[in-house]
Structure 1
Amino acid sequence: MKRHRGHKAKVYFSPDQARAAEEQGHASRAMWNLIHDWWTLLPKQQRSLAAADEAIRQGRKDLPWLGVLPAQAAQQVLKTYFQSWRNCWDGRSEEPTFKGRFRSRMAIDIPQGRDLQIVRLNRRWGRMWVPKIGHVLFRWTRDLPAGKRADKLNKVTGARLVREADGWHVVFRVRTEVPEPGSHTGLTVGIDRGIVKPLALSDGSFREHGPWLTSGEAERLRRLEKAKERKRRSRKKGEKTSNRLTRTYDQIAQLRARAKRRAVDWQHKTTTGIAQQFSRAGVEDLKITNMVKSARGTVEAPGKNVRQKAGLNRAIAGEAWGRTVNMLEYKMADRGGIVVKVPPQGTSQRCSVCGFITPGNRDSQARFTCKAEGCGHQGNADTNAACNIDHAAGLAVSGLLSLRR
């Protein structure tokens, strides 16, 4: 079967190449905004892909600064914009909006893999071609089907240059031909996601991690946040952001990016281990966006415990539960396993032994004690919830869960 994956690598530009990439990144963002204005201002009957394509061609002729963006990259911006509307119409995302200069990430598409001309120079370095920039170096951390290793079934189909806090990266789109995975023979497991215990498994084990930043890094981040607020207060309304404040923003972004890289690394290693060990993983079908909504309320009806809820929201966002499930889904599928999402109602209050449900079953955040007569089951609350999730996943696979509901 065909497998489509992305591979990310660090890119190293020369100063001139970095400036050219910056210009292309700004032009790509401006192209998106122009297409968005064109789409929203025109009547519905005049909107079409052909008309948008003609508008892009004319815009690149009339505006020289748009011409720094390669034609294929401009076409890819149009395709991405139209796809975002399709996702909106299908209910998978919100409507596309204007991309702000400081709120959006720079990205440049290279839609054709043959334009990349990837060459491996040695064990650590590779070289590729970027239109209107030239040959650039990138870190070779994984074998790519490029050069003599490429064929019709195994090849790099395209790439995207992305600027992050620690510099530019390239994300290769890799297509490979792999054999169909056989049936996984491992056990089943239920996974409860939390804050104190990031992942609690139904077999009684936990997957835990420490702080993403060391104590020194956390203290430096705290000082930078205070410096940021102090410099923002001294800045007059409408005044241009100073170089010092911009540098402080960059330093904060670099620390947060470091924490995210460590979190993603832990998630990759943890989900790989789970996918190798278990054949079926049950998880709760959580509406995370609803869980992290602010409790501030309105002027007429102000919220309660706003600061506590804000801290909980930050903790939930820091664990990135959705990203963990996304990684687990494709890794389980690669190994012949499945991920089953079950309704979250009652998983933390139901006894995994007798099935009795009452809010009093959970004595505390970490302790579960069944109040049913003749049961008295005791154990870790997260492990009990994971057992309930595993049981519900088995019912969902067998079709009994839908009948019971």
Structure 2
Amino acid sequence: MGEFGVVRRQFGHRARLALSPAEIRVMDDQAHAARTLWNCLHSWWQMMPKGKRTLAGADAAIRQARKDLDYLAVLPAQAAQAVLKTYHRAWVNCWEGRAQEPTYKGRFRAPMSVDIPQGRDLNIVRVHRRWGMVNIPKVGRVRFRWTKDLPVGKRANQENRITGARLVKDALGWHIAFRVQTIERAPGPHQGPEVGIDAGVSIPLALSNGDHQDHGRATWTPGGTSDRDKWLNADEKARLLRLEHKAARLKQHRKKGERTSNRLRAVYDQIRALRAKAKRRAEDWQHKTTTYLAQTYGVIVVERLNILGMTKAPAPRPDPDNAGAFLHNGAAAKAGLNRAIAQEAWGRTVTMLTYKTDRCGGRLVKVPAPYTSQRCSACGFTVPGSRASQELFVCKNPDCGWTANADWNAARNILHLYRIGHVVVEVPAAGRRGRRAGKTVKPTAAM
């Protein structure tokens, strides 16, 4: 296998399910049963004394509840055990300071999901190029969209297999998320060039070598306006506007404290479906773009950004001419910029680059963010007023006068910081924990 050995990786793959109305009802009932079981388990846990809060006691309570309540019996036994394991893990995370205490799940707030912990129960078969078949407990054989080669059939073994799955429902319907474990050849060092990347709103990803990545959908203009639905076409935007107006009219007739009507809830579901479609298109562009970058460049340098601090609204200032009043302080323009930053999802882009550069043998490096957009990449001076606008950089140094796109100038500065050693975080090519990268293992004779 060469000097690099092999790497064990664990990752997830999500696929869309093609269900009939009857199958949708069965899966909805299972998801509601799983949520109800969680709530019953939470009540039991709070009611019992601390000395009797054990996994064995909780398991016995779950088994008895499934016998007494037919509604809970629609949930497969292994899925019920998965609810117990997930609930106990939530408490462990709380005790170790990684999360807050688990609480009750609301019917309309909590996401609908059902776990299939055993991969051998799935019996996955590829039907043809576009579709596959999977077995779902108490539902039967169901088609799913085949968009990625999975280790099934003769390709599956102890090291390359599907270890389980989770059924998840969102605004676009039911999906299945497979948990995949594979053994792959460990990649050698990537021989590609170095590149600095600046995440912006005029150019989504500006590269130091000029190979900018743009999705062609304007997000924000210096006047402060923002296109909230830039990933929808004109007809979809018009439909979304009609639905929002309809929801506003229906909401006027709802009294305070009154439950949302079924008609209003149906309108909300249509709005969520359009929002989910826009998010899916944005993630598709991010996946394709980050894959291209990870395969092309050996070292990718980005800023370590405090996105939460960047999207804070400006504090209002008192109006000196009007007692008790406050100045707007550019709040409308800042709100548009904040929406544009949130829509670009810079953090998700960096997360994708992190595990994709690892799989390609490259490196991801983070450098300090201050003054990268205000420093001239040609002369190296930081002169006040050089950032002429959100899109244009004009160096005010009398001996320079360099003019360029502001995001491109920042990308050049980001790469320069890496080359002179100002590195904050460097992600190694192997040895990281987590879902996207596993530990390196020695090659065996069989491989």
| TM-score, normalising length: structure 2 | 0.81
Following superposition, the deviation at residue 159 of structure 1 comes to 0.7
Evaluate the alpha carbon distance shift between residue 93 and residue 263 of structure 1 in structure 2; reply closer, same or farther with a 3 A threshold: farther
Evaluate the alpha carbon distance shift between residue 373 and residue 92 of structure 1 in structure 2; reply closer, same or farther with a 3 A threshold: farther
Partner residue, 1:287: 306
- Post-superposition Cα deviations, 1:265-287, rounded to whole Å, max 9, x if no partner, equal 11111111111111111122223
Following superposition, the deviation at residue 232 of structure 1 comes to 0.7
The answer to which of 330-339 and 2-11 deviates more is: 2-11
Evaluate the alpha carbon distance shift between residue 139 and residue 45 of structure 1 in structure 2; reply closer, same or farther with a 3 A threshold: same
- Separation in 1, partners of 2:103, 2:298: 41
- Post-superposition Cα deviations, 1:120-147, rounded to whole Å, max 9, x if no partner, equal 2233322111112222121222221112
Q: Of 186, 206, 211, which residue of structure 2 is paired with 1:205?
A: 211
Q: Percent identity?
A: 56
Partner residue, 1:326: 351
- Post-superposition Cα deviations, 1:313-367, rounded to whole Å, max 9, x if no partner, equal 3222211112111111111111101212223222212222343234422121112
AA aligned to 1:225 is E
Q: Of 152, 173, 178, which residue of structure 1 is paired with 2:179?
A: 173
| TM-score, normalising length: structure 1 | 0.88
- Separation in 1, partners of 2:196, 2:53: 48
AA aligned to 2:139 is I
1:4 and 2:29 equivalent?
no
Q: CA RMSD in A?
A: 3.0
- Separation in 1, partners of 2:361, 2:422: 15
* SS of alignment partner, residue 360 of structure 1: coil
Evaluate the alpha carbon distance shift between residue 77 and residue 357 of structure 1 in structure 2; reply closer, same or farther with a 3 A threshold: farther
Following superposition, the deviation at residue 248 of structure 1 comes to 1.2
- Separation in 1, partners of 2:54, 2:379: 60
Evaluate the alpha carbon distance shift between residue 379 and residue 305 of structure 1 in structure 2; reply closer, same or farther with a 3 A threshold: closer
AA aligned to 2:370 is Q
Q: Of 341, 344, 353, which residue of structure 1 is paired with 2:378?
A: 353
AA aligned to 2:125 is V
Residue 87 of structure 2 contacts residue 102 of structure 2 at CA under 8 Å; is this kept in 1? yes
- Separation in 2, partners of 1:357, 1:8: 47
Structure with larger RCO (C-alpha < 8 A, sep 6+)? 2
Point out the structure with the larger helix share: 1
- Separation in 2, partners of 1:394, 1:90: 39
Evaluate the alpha carbon distance shift between residue 91 and residue 213 of structure 1 in structure 2; reply closer, same or farther with a 3 A threshold: farther
Partner residue, 2:414: 389
- Post-superposition Cα deviations, 1:170-217, rounded to whole Å, max 9, x if no partner, equal 111111111000100111111111222111111123211123111221
Partner residue, 1:233: 252
Q: Of 183, 186, 206, which residue of structure 1 is paired with 2:189?
A: 183
AA aligned to 1:172 is F
The answer to which of 361-370 and 109-118 deviates more is: 361-370
* SS of alignment partner, residue 385 of structure 2: helix
Partner residue, 2:396: 371
* SS of alignment partner, residue 283 of structure 2: helix
1:66 and 2:72 equivalent?
yes
- Separation in 2, partners of 1:313, 1:346: 19
AA aligned to 2:29 is E
Evaluate the alpha carbon distance shift between residue 61 and residue 326 of structure 1 in structure 2; reply closer, same or farther with a 3 A threshold: same
Evaluate the alpha carbon distance shift between residue 400 and residue 270 of structure 1 in structure 2; reply closer, same or farther with a 3 A threshold: closer
Partner residue, 1:57: 63
Evaluate the alpha carbon distance shift between residue 187 and residue 41 of structure 1 in structure 2; reply closer, same or farther with a 3 A threshold: farther
